[in-house]
Amino acid sequence: MLNVKQRQMNLRFLGYYGGTIDGIAGNGTIGAIEEFQRNYGLVVDGIYGAKTDAKLIEVIKVEQIKLGVTADGIAGTQTVNARDNKSLSWNDIKHFKQSEFACKCGCGFSDINLNLVKILMK
């Protein structure tokens, strides 16, 4: 079962949650869960049980497959960046190279939000 921060990340990615990713299941998180439950035909009680967990993970995995990222059911940095970068490519970036943002440790990580790079060009 997803922890509270993972639930909040997923609900934010889908547009249900607008609060801070803080791991606290407060009123904003509960309201987001209720809205999600309502939209997906689940019992609307604000309780994050097994059925809500399974449906939220399923919905995120479908989105991840569409974006071409690892379908793990958690809308983390890779998933958010893939969505945000969908309309941009490195061809749109004139003053930077992708290699300039690669991790120097040799792990190959170079997943940066292209919208941020576009802001840096201004």
Same domain, 54 and 112: no
**DSSP string over 35-80:** HHHHHTT---SS---HHHHHHHHHHHHHHHHHHTS---S---HHHH
Same domain, 26 and 55: yes
Same domain, 71 and 95: no
CATH number at residue 35: 1.10.101.10
The mean pLDDT value for 41-55 works out to 98
Parent domain of 109: 90-120
pLDDT at 86 over 90: no
* pTM of the predicted structure, to 2 decimals: 0.74
Same domain, 58 and 22: yes
pLDDT single digits (tens) 3-26? 999 999 999 999 999 999 999 999
82 assigned to some structural domain: no
Same domain, 14 and 40: yes
Q: How many CB atoms lie within 10 A of CB 74?
A: 21
Same domain, 59 and 24: yes
Contact 33, 17 (CB under 8 A): no
pLDDT single digits (tens) 54-70? 999 999 999 999 999 99
pLDDT band at 100 (very low <50, low <70, confident <90, very high): confident
